[in-house]
Chain A
């Protein structure tokens, strides 16, 4: 039984997170304060929501580097719609639709046109960032959102922010989708052997397209929640988040080769990355050291993932 548990892909990020949390609570008395835990939640929840999207793409064998700009777009659009006087539900609806639209663009470029995922999503990242920033103006920081909008970010239920509950809901939902529904399982077929999935009759292009669309939607949701929390959009939203999510997803069991990963793994990976950032703040590490640590994590993750794939290919006699 313990052996079986250890082999599950979520074991690694779980252990890493627990270890880091334990280390942090020992090293800093501030760790368990409600202020710190709140800020942890606020950092984990939106990032995890985006990582869910990234994980979907990763399972199919692709990735999405444009989620940062979608999040930014969502934040700035919320501000813009608010300026126009839309009600909170309307704001949320239209922002989500915008995110969905960008996701569909990604899906079109990658799944339909066959453009390399790296280039296509980087291109969309630039396009999204560019268009989003045209919405930006300095005064945005000072205009207020209506109370119910802010409540989305501030409100708590049973000690946890609404956004944490939202993330948990999506986690459970997505987890079930990926493990217990037929359509969810198809992602693993497509990611595991694209050609064979076509031969079995799965519509691999449609599946990949939908994953990108979903990722766009989730990134927009994360943006809305984030902006509700900080109460006004900034031009820095979403910066560097694609790296964090990518590392988190690979730690969480995903692989660049595709066919592997889970919602829980993504969430745990993000938890680990957020604890890492938390550590930077608590221990007041300077930015250089921070970069080094993040870089080392990235390299470690890449090397291990690459090495495991290499081992597998050698065993199959491909090398």
Chain B
């Protein structure tokens, strides 16, 4: 009989936000902006601190337009990955299959785009193909997790190995040179106002995810499941279906990221996904996505990625020993997780 009722809190004063909201379109926008700021002030503060430290340390070079351009470009692909994986963390799970899915999608891109290994040249059709492939693998992870009732980290660990193996198998262990330069120009260019295209893509998906999370039934169901799965079930939510959908979405993001990765390098190999899982998880944690579930939106994923990218860019600029950089990343991950744990919900990852 541990039922605890929250102690009566003093009544909150009428919020200025309500007033703003009633002030027409402009007021509403302003209110949304302020609410957004309010939610991520911790992350913005960290970003400000990072900029300050490296800005001073590098004599201002860190904050030069060129460098900012570089940071944003650096954050592009990890942001896509983090946007995919953070939703699984929100539901209280974990996805260890990132590297394997990226591997198989990358290799498939290499084999289907114009290359010197076979005669395929699918051009822009690669987009729906890679989306379908990534989504299918994600779907598989979701089904293994829900139907076989395996904890997500075990299910995705298995998927990781299988598809990484497939990638190695069909690529013969070698890299496949890609000869469709259109993509590389797209991925590395900045066609509009000098903003890196990759950044625009990132912002686009950010908006898509924000809308998904706050305005669709699956999005809201996702937070319900992360907050209290029993309650979600009780409310009539089809928990299994939502989980599978979220895993599939995650897979789609992995696929898109893989496409960008291989076209940026103009070469596809199974190892293209290596070492990408850790930064994605760190970005999610730093951004404020709690491992215990139920908390964290797309803005947290994107901001976290930007902070981590800025941090790493700054460390490179200050010529920090690359190995120490790894150590710093590890410390950042642990600290971020330790700070966002909800004590009451500690338990094994679902």
Task: Using CB atoms and an 8 Å cutoff, list the residues of chain A in contact with chain B.
Answer: 109, 113-116, 118-120, 122-134, 136, 256, 286-288, 291-292, 294-296, 298-299, 302-303, 306, 310, 319
Contact = CB atoms under 8 A, between A and B. Distances in A.
B287 to A, nearest CB: 15
A-B pairs with the 10 shortest C-beta distances? A130-B327, A126-B330, A133-B323, A130-B326, A127-B330, A295-B161, A123-B334, A123-B330, A123-B333, A127-B327
B173 A125 contact: no
30 contacts: A109-B334, A114-B341, A114-B343, A119-B281, A120-B334, A122-B278, A122-B281, A122-B333, A123-B334, A125-B330, A126-B278, A126-B329, A127-B327, A127-B331, A129-B323, A130-B324, A130-B325, A130-B330, A133-B326, A134-B321, A286-B173, A287-B173, A288-B165, A288-B169, A288-B173, A294-B161, A296-B165, A303-B158, A306-B150, A310-B149
Given A298-B157, A303-B158, A134 B324 contact: yes
B334 A124 contact: yes
Contacts of B47: none
B260 interface: no
Interface in B318-350: 321-331, 333-334, 337-338, 341, 343, 346, 349
Contacts of A118: 94, 153, 349
B254 interface: no
A2 B281 CA distance: 48
A291 B270 CA distance: 12
Contacts of A298: 157-158, 161
A145 to B, nearest CB: 23
A286 to B, nearest CB: 7
Nearest to B327: A130
B253 interface: no
A295 B325 contact: no
B284 to A, nearest CB: 11
Most chain A C-beta atoms within 10 Å of own C-beta, residue among B168, B285, B325, B346: B168
Given A114-B343, A123-B333, A298-B157, 18 more contacts: A109-B334, A113-B338, A114-B346, A125-B330, A127-B327, A127-B330, A129-B323, A130-B323, A133-B326, A256-B154, A286-B173, A288-B168, A288-B172, A291-B168, A295-B164, A295-B165, A298-B158, A298-B161
Most chain B C-beta atoms within 10 Å of own C-beta, residue among A109, A116, A123, A286: A123
Interface residues of B, number: 40
B151 to A, nearest CB: 8
B181 to A, nearest CB: 29
B150 A134 contact: no
Interface in B228-285: 278, 281, 285
Interface of B: 94, 148-151, 153-154, 157-158, 161-162, 164-165, 168-169, 172-173, 278, 281, 285, 291, 321-331, 333-334, 337-338, 341, 343, 346, 349
A105 B155 CA distance: 28
B157 A302 contact: yes
Contacts of B162: 295, 299
A118 B149 CA distance: 19
A288 B321 CA distance: 33
Most chain B C-beta atoms within 10 Å of own C-beta, residue among A116, A132, A136, A303: A116
Contacts of B322: 133
Contacts of B338: 109, 113, 115
Given A118-B349, A298-B157, A131 B323 contact: yes
Contacts of A287: 168, 173
B7 to A, nearest CB: 25
Contacts of B330: 122-130
Nearest to B157: A302
Contacts of B165: 288, 291-292, 295-296
A116 B326 contact: no
B323 A119 contact: no
A115 B334 contact: yes
Given A126-B329, A256-B154, A116 B324 contact: no
Contacts of A114: 341, 343, 346
A73 B322 CA distance: 16
A194 to B, nearest CB: 10
B81 to A, nearest CB: 16
Contacts of B153: 118
A109 B326 CA distance: 19
A85 B7 CA distance: 64
Contacts of A294: 161
Nearest to B151: A256
Contacts of A286: 173
A115 B333 CA distance: 11
A255 to B, nearest CB: 11
Contacts of B327: 126-131, 134
Contacts of A291: 164-165, 168
Most chain B C-beta atoms within 10 Å of own C-beta, residue among A126, A286, A298: A126
B341 A299 contact: no
Nearest to B166: A292
A287 B324 CA distance: 31
Contacts of A134: 321, 323-324, 327
A306 B328 CA distance: 35
Nearest to A114: B346
A55 B8 CA distance: 49
Contacts of A306: 148, 150, 154
